[in-house]
Structure 1
Amino acid sequence: MDQAKRANVVAARVPPHFFFFISAIFHYLGPAFAVLLFSNVSVLGVAWFRIASAAFVFAIWRRPWRMFVQMSWTQRRILIALGSVLALMNVCFYVAISRVPLSTVGAIEFLGPIVLAALGARTPRNITALVLAASGGWLLTDVRFSGEPLGFLFAFANCALFMLYVVLGHRIAQDGGSAGIDRLGMAMLIALVVVTPIGITGALPAMTQLPLLLAGIGVGICSSVIPYVCDQLAMARLPRATFALLLALLPASATIIGILVLHQLPTLVESLGILLVAGGIALHRESAA
């Protein structure tokens, strides 16, 4: 049994929800590195660092171009679309949070998974689960409609692109295992090509400063490599609607990390939000394959 098959066997033994849990944790560790960069690097420069460092890791780890040259043009178009979505999604996210409160951007981004989950919620039980999770996520994001109009434009663009990421991510994860990760790696290289004309200039000030350079690498690994790989492993075994509903855990995981790491105790409203999300996830039942 070769290395790829052994890796697939090991991954198949791990519950897919575990991979999503890991993704949710690192989804919020990445911004901790970005804090150091924001005071010295432009918003677009941070977006470039996130994608460039992730692309570099995938290039060394997976060498995805070997798979790309063997694909059909239809398969290549999916990867080109996903790479473009990854690039623009990250740009829109960072521009949005530079102009609008993060909680508001998170709430708007959460609308995308709600739509996808609604499209797959075809039983009264799952519709109820969706309503519970959506309500909990809304409470946890502590929505405040303040900020610049341009920020809202980028926030809604990020929401639409996030929906496309989930849809296209499931397309490349259909046969599971290492093949999906290879395709993800190639999509990240394509994303680097797309984002470089936009963000490379803003990243230049950090190129000669080792702490900033390491922070940029940390952003890419924590925000793009680990979460996106875990997403692929989860998407390969979860229906798209189920994965979209699980995204309701993201604001809940942020609150839990705040308790454990920052000793920030949740308010009564935040506690209620966690309970609603947990109730929605517990109530949801996956459709038969």
Structure 2
Amino acid sequence: MTLPPLPSIIVEPVVRAALLEDLGRAGDVTSDAIVPPDLITSLVLTARQAGVVAGLDVAALTFRLIDPSIEVEVRRPDGSEVVANETIAIVRGPARGLLTAERTALNFLCHLSGIATATATLVATVSGHKARIVCTRKTTPGLRTLEKYAVRAGGGSNHRFGLDDAILIKDNHIAIAGGLQSAVERARAHAGHMVKIEVEVDTLSQLEEVLELEVDAVLLDNMALDDLTCAVDMVGGRAITEASGRITAATAPAVATSGVDLISVGWLTHSAPILDIGLDIAATG
């Protein structure tokens, strides 16, 4: 798949913060002491296991912010499936800059590729059903935009990006508002005409009440499969249906058979294991 890169103006502040955290107060004292300033070398980014690539543009920016003369030749762009020992990219330039940026670039690339790989695995499990795999707001602070991009690289979709782009009414909102109807009415009075309203429900009786209020989407949280199937039938296309609650690759296919539109998975962004990617010297000269 072809995935448009994130604008540099969004990515650069995140990368700069990561580099500054690593460089500290004195820079890379190890590379400055050992590596000649005029030494040019090439490093090869290699997948050490099968997966899906995400974050190459972020990694490339990491290198360029350390030394603008560094060049990155992409062999397998974001969204590509790779096998073990496959070359992802070749990085060329001053050795000092390459080694200084190496760890931060790999941190981004391995983490984001891990998210893309986990997403692709889940997407494959629900193939043949209409359900789409979506991420949530359970993201690493400061990395939300990058992590949600990685979900797209893996073939998934994004839920809301923050508290400001959609209304999601949960149990605490309902309790504070004094009831479901009051919560929805307040939300509808406050929302702009482009803002959708979703309500989380745990039971079929709650769902019945919600449907009378004509909301845009319902979040069916931690429902048993029989109840989930019944819930989709009750909705009957009147709202978007979203299933959530400890979804895994083992349980996702059954959840998809219920007919839900979306399956939201928090662990994709907060707990997906990294994709192991190596960065090794190819040639020096």
Question: What range describes the TM-score normalised by the shorter chain of this pair?
Answer: under 0.3
Q: Using CA pairs below 8 Å that are at least 6 residues apart, which structure has the higher relative contact order?
A: 1
Greater strand content:
2
TM-score where L is the length of structure 1: 0.27
Asked which structure has the greater CA Rg, the reply is 2
